[in-house]
Amino acid sequence: MDSGTKPNLLSDLPDCLLVLIISFLPFKQSVQTSVLAKRWKNLCHETTNLVFKESEFGLNQFVVDTEAKNSETRALFVSIMHQWISRFTGNTIETFELCLPEPVGFEEDIMSLIEFAATKQTKNLVINFSSSNSRQPPGALHIKLIYFQKNGLDITRLFSNLIYVRNLTICPFLLEMIQDCDDPMKLHDPMKTRHLVIKTHMYPHEFGGITIFLNSCPELESLTFETYTTGPIVMSQRYWPLIHPKTFWLNNKTYECLERTLKAVKVENFCGISNELHVLQYLIRTGRVMERLDLHAAKRMNNEQRRLVLTAAEEFQKNVERGSRHLRVTLHNA
């Protein structure tokens, strides 16, 4: 049989199966399938895994001026997101990931995208407005938070759209912003989140945000900390009140999820630094039904860093008061 007449097995599949296959591809590759044939042109718009990462779109290669490049790139990226969701034909979304660092000037766009995700009953929602390479002092970030609040990024409105998300990932930006609300512990009805991932530097000015989420998620079953390993920055009391990490977590206040549902805690990029220890000691002490604490050591550690990690794990094993007799602490990759 001539190669030109061989049957195309993919073409013989119904659209529903093709969409299912496309949904398993990374988002950029699923978009690229639209050029395979006329039939494929709109199939990718039915994929249920939407990952919008500004850094991956590479839209600024033809703009020379740096400031103009950033402005034009962001506007084009936001436009692409809006066009995409306007063509989405599905009823539910498996994963919706929105990564737009420090979205100055796009506050209302952010709200509309998150509200779209909420209307589509998104199962896994990832929100990241933090810069991946930023080590700016808290004062600089505080100024930006004030700007966002005055220019349309209503944190109360944002979080009201997260109530029914079962799997949620948040960033340091949101940890800090939520604390500036009036009475943040009463933002909304209890969230239905079962699995929460918190990206964090473990800075003291993020601690209040962590407790707000513990309070807001009474059905939480697993909690993961994805810690950044960029090192410490100098704290500034000019913008943030003095927060003593050890004292902050010594209180015995507990939350419903710690009493009833939270069974698994995981730390990615565990370094054994004091701020990590204070948070985890609190969870070990107050977690009444915890079964697992998995510590995944950071990569490329030197001997001193490895020693800190091993010492911290041993401390958790032997000397920290436990709220649950079923808790098992495991150190990985050390």
Rounded Cα distance between 232 and 230, Å, is 7
- 210-231 pLDDT, tens digit each: 999 999 999 999 999 999 865 4
* pLDDT tens-digit map of 90-135: 788 999 999 988 787 888 898 899 999 999 999 999 999 887 554 5
Strand partners, 330: 294
If you average pLDDT over residues 246-256, what whole number do you get? 90
Confidence (pLDDT) at 84: 84
Which residues in the chain belong to E strands, given as ranges? 49-53, 95-99, 124-128, 167-170, 195-200, 222-227, 264-270, 292-297, 328-332
Mean pLDDT across the stretch 76-88? 86
Q: In this model, does residue 157 exceed pLDDT 50?
A: yes
pLDDT, the chain, mean: 80
Specify the pLDDT at position 175.
Answer: 87
Between residues 180 and 234, which one has the greater pLDDT?
Answer: 180
pLDDT surpasses 80 at 209: yes
Higher-pLDDT residue of 178 and 213 is: 213
Say what the pTM is: 0.83
Phi, psi values for residue 173, rounded to 5°:
-55, -45
Taking Cα atoms as reference points, which of 120, 129, 128 lies closest to residue 47? 120
Q: What mean pLDDT is predicted for residues 16-34?
A: 68
pLDDT band at 38 (very low <50, low <70, confident <90, very high): low
Per-residue pLDDT averaged across 36-43, rounded? 66
Contacts (Cβ under 8 Å, ≥6 apart) of 233: 135, 136, 137, 138, 203
Instruction: Quote the tokens at residue 92.
Output: 């539910």
> 101 vs 13, 105, 213, CA distance in Å?
40, 12, 21
Least confident of 61-75, 155-169, 286-300: 61-75
More confident: 27 or 282: 282
Q: How confident is the model at residue 61 (pLDDT cuts 50, 70, 90)?
A: very low
pLDDT at 192 over 80: yes
CA distances for 332 relative to 63, 97, 236, 313, angstroms: 45, 28, 35, 10
The answer to whether residue 260 scores a pLDDT higher than 90 is: yes
Residue 331 backbone phi and psi in degrees, to 5: -105, 130
